[in-house]
Amino acid sequence: MTAAVAVFLVISLDFIFLEVFPGEPSRLLAPRGGYWIGPGPDPRLQVVSQWALDSPLLYRYVIFLGNILSGNWGISTSIRPGAGVWDLIQPALAPTIGFAGVALVLTAFAGTLLGRFAGRRRQRISDSAATSVSLLSISIPAIGLALGLLFVLALKFPVFPIRGDTSLNYSSLDPLGQAWDRIYHGILPVATVVATSFGLFVLAARDSESARSSRGRSPGLPSRLRSWLAASPPVLSGVGLFAGWVLGIELLAETQFGIRGLGTLLLMSLSYFDFFVMSGVFLLTSFGLIAIVTIADVLVAALSRSGEAQEFVAAPSGHVPVLHQLRRLAAGLLRPMGRAGLAIVVFFAGFSSLSSLWVGPYASAVGGGNRFQPPSAQHFLGTDRLGGDVWALLAYAGQTPLMAALLSFLLAAGLGVLVAVALGHVGGWAGVVVDEATFVFLFLSWIPFVILFALGAFRDSIQSVTVLGIVLIAWPIPVRFVRSDIVRRYPEATRRAGARSAGWVRLTDLGHFLLDVAPTILGTALFAASFAVLMESTLAFLGLSGQPVPSWGSMIYESIASLAVIQGYWWTFVPPVVFVAGSSFGFALLGFALKEAPWPVPVSSPFRPSPEPSRSTGQDVRA
C-alpha cells in the first residue's frame, strides 16, 4: 500500500515540477527550432495533443498521470529532438544498474562488517577508531574524492582509465575480456561510492549489533545460521534506508568518470534544459528506490521473528531532574569526539559568518591579484584563475552551505520532536501519519529531486531555492534514526493496540520524555546538517549556485574547468575540498557525541530507558 501511494506521489510531484517551471508548458515540452519542415506530423502539435497542454489544469494532470503509468514519458526537446525518452534512457540504464548494484552490495557488506566489529567492542579504542573512520567516510565529498582518484591514479600514475565505462576495442573482445574491461573501468567509480557511503551502514550496524549482543544467543540454532539470521534484518534495513543516498552518489560518480549512465544523462539534460529527460531520470530512480525499499521491507518482516512488535509506544521515563539532563548533554559535548566536533563547527561557522571581519569586504578582498599565484605571505592560499584570493573566497563561499546546514538542522530537530511525540505519547493515527510521511521521502533520489526543485521554483535566486530543496530532502534519514533510537532505548514499551488509554493522558510526562530523547534528536539533526553541506556543495559543483558569491562546490568546479588541477595548482582544488569535508565532519562528530551521551537514571520510576536493551526492538526498514 505504501509503495502504491509513493508511486502516485512521485508522479504528482513530477507534474508539479512541470507546472511551476518558468515558461509556457507547450514551448517547454515540445522540440525547439521554430516551424517543423520535416516529414511526418509536427512534433510540437503532437506533444500538445498527447499531453493536453491546451486544456484545464485538472485534465492535464489526469492525462499526465495516464501517460506516465502507460509508459509514455515524453520526447526529448534538445538532446535528440523528437526521440522518445525511453530511447535515451535504455542505453544508460544498464551501466547505472550494474555499477550501482555492485556499489550497494559492497557498501552494505563493508559497512556491516565494520559496524558489527564496533558494536561488539563498544566504548573501546577499536570502537572509537571504527566510528571515526565511518564518520569521516560520510563527510568526504564524492566530487573531491572522484577527482582526486582520477588525478592520482589516472593522470599522475596511469593505472586506471581516465573516462568511460568500456575501452575502444570493447566490441572485439571475447566475453571474458568484455567482463574484465567493464570491471576495470568500474573500479574507481565503485570505490568512490563505497568510500563515501559505507559509514552509514557502520553506524546502523553498530547499534544493531550492540543491541543483539546484549540479548544473548538464541538457543537451538547452529552458530553460523544463528549469526546470519540475526544479521540479515539490519543489513536489509540499511539497504532500504540508505539506497537513495548511495544511488545519488553513484549518479554523481558517473558524471566524473564519464560513465554513460543515468547520471551523465541527467547532467546533459540539465545543460540543455530538457525537461522530459530530467523527468524520466527522476521517475525511474524514484520507482527503482520504491522497489528496493519495498523488497527490503518484506524480507525484513519475513526474517524477523514473528513475536517481535513492530509498533511501540514509549513508556513513561520517570522524572529525571533537569540538572541531570543538562549534565548528560554536557557529558556528550565533553567527550573527545564532542570537543573536536564543536571546535570544528565553531571554526567554520565563525570563519564564514564573520568573513567581512576576517578578510574585508567581498569586492576588495577577492580581486586584484595575479592569476594562479602560489601561497605566499600576501595570499595565504594563493590565487585562482581570476586572481581572486583563495582564502577570502573560502570565507565567503561557506555562507551558503552553512546556511543549508543550519536550516536542515532546525527542520530535522523539529520533525524529530514531532516523531518522538507521535510515537511515544499520541500514538494511533498521528504516529502512523508521521511515520509514513517520513518513509515516503526515502523513495526520492536526492540529486534529481533537488535539481528539478531548484529549476522549477527558480525566481530571483536559484541559490536560495537550492538551499530550500536541500532542506526538504536532508531530514528523512536522521529522523528515521530518531525513531529507531526511541524504540531501542525503551524496551518496556507496549503495543499501540493495548495502549488506547495512553494517549493524551501521558502528556504530563511529555517534558521529561522529550528531555530523555533530546540528545538523540539533536544528534541526528546534526547529521542532517552534515548531509546538507555535502549536497549543497555537490549541486554548486553542477552549476546550481547563485552569483556573484561562490560556494565551495563551485570553487571545486572552477579549478577543474580552468585546468588548474592538471597544471598542478593544487591550492585551487584542495582547500575547498578540505573545507567541505571538514565542516561536514565537524557536524557528524558533534552529532554522534550527543547521540551517544549517557542516559541519566530516573530518581523514582518503574520504567527507565536502557542503553543496552534486554530484548528485541523489532526494527524494520522504517526504523
**Highest mean pLDDT out of 121-125, 194-198, 361-365, 554-558:** 194-198
pLDDT at 230 over 60: no
The pLDDT value recorded for residue 525 is 86
Asked if residue 161 and residue 62 are part of one domain, the reply reads: no
pLDDT tens for residues 401-449? 888 888 888 888 887 787 777 765 565 566 666 666 767 777 777 888 8
pLDDT tens for residues 51-61? 888 788 899 89
Asked if residue 139 and residue 171 are part of one domain, the reply reads: yes
Asked if residue 467 and residue 430 are part of one domain, the reply reads: yes
Interatomic CA distance for residues 202 and 489, integer angstroms: 19
When pLDDT is averaged across residues 157-182 and rounded to a whole number, the result is 87
The pLDDT value recorded for residue 244 is 86
The amino acid at residue 11 is: I
CATH number at residue 270: 1.10.3720.10
When pLDDT is averaged across residues 325-329 and rounded to a whole number, the result is 73
Asked if residue 229 and residue 178 are part of one domain, the reply reads: yes
Q: Which residues pair with 75 in a beta bridge?
A: 84
The pLDDT value recorded for residue 280 is 92
- Nearest Cα neighbor of 572 from 554, 548, 598, 546 is 554
Q: Which residues pair with 313 in a beta bridge?
A: 494
* H/E stretch holding 321: none
Asked if residue 59 and residue 7 are part of one domain, the reply reads: yes
Instruction: Please say whether the beta carbons of 338 and 590 come within 8 A.
Output: yes
95 vs 461, higher pLDDT: 95
Asked if residue 102 and residue 57 are part of one domain, the reply reads: no
In a domain, 283, yes or no: yes
pTM, two decimals, is 0.83
Neighbours of 308 (CB within 10 A): 14
Instruction: Please say whether the beta carbons of 160 and 184 come within 8 A.
Output: yes
Asked if residue 257 and residue 166 are part of one domain, the reply reads: yes
Asked if residue 216 and residue 356 are part of one domain, the reply reads: no
Collapsing DSSP to helix, strand or coil, 494 comes out as: strand
Helical segments of 120-222, H only: 125-139, 142-150, 175-215
In a domain, 505, yes or no: no
pLDDT at 209 over 60: yes
Instruction: Please say whether the beta carbons of 128 and 118 come within 8 A.
Output: no
Asked if residue 139 and residue 38 are part of one domain, the reply reads: no
pLDDT at 151 over 50: yes
pLDDT at 164 over 70: yes
Instruction: Please say whether the beta carbons of 537 and 143 come within 8 A.
Output: yes
**CA dihedral sign, ordered 191, 562, 456, 50:** negative
The pLDDT value recorded for residue 79 is 85
What are residue 220's phi and psi, to 5 degrees? 90, 0
When pLDDT is averaged across residues 467-471 and rounded to a whole number, the result is 69
The pLDDT value recorded for residue 615 is 35
In a domain, 311, yes or no: no
- Residue numbers of the domain that contains 525: 322-361+387-498+514-595
In a domain, 566, yes or no: yes
Total domains in the chain come to 3
When pLDDT is averaged across residues 180-195 and rounded to a whole number, the result is 92
Asked if residue 345 and residue 201 are part of one domain, the reply reads: no
Residue 67 Cα distances to 60, 70, 204, 276, 495, angstroms: 10, 5, 40, 12, 43
Asked if residue 206 and residue 234 are part of one domain, the reply reads: yes
pLDDT tens for residues 284-295? 999 998 888 888
Q: Which residues pair with 571 in a beta bridge?
A: none
In a domain, 83, yes or no: no
In a domain, 377, yes or no: no
CATH number at residue 553: 1.10.3720
Q: What is 427-458 written as a DSSP string?
A: -HHHHHHHHHHHHHHTTS-HHHHHHHHHHHT-
In a domain, 314, yes or no: no
Instruction: Please say whether the beta carbons of 438 and 528 come within 8 A.
Output: no
Neighbours of 142 (CB within 10 A): 24
The pLDDT value recorded for residue 4 is 83
Asked if residue 538 and residue 392 are part of one domain, the reply reads: yes
In a domain, 615, yes or no: no
Residue 372 Cα distances to 110, 564, 570, 576, angstroms: 41, 8, 10, 15
The pLDDT value recorded for residue 22 is 65
The pLDDT value recorded for residue 241 is 79
pLDDT at 75 over 70: yes
| % of the chain with per-residue pLDDT over 70 | 72
Cell of 183: 570491471
Q: Which residues pair with 389 in a beta bridge?
A: 383
pLDDT tens for residues 511-541? 666 777 788 888 888 988 898 899 888 888 8
First-residue to last-residue Cα distance in the chain:
18
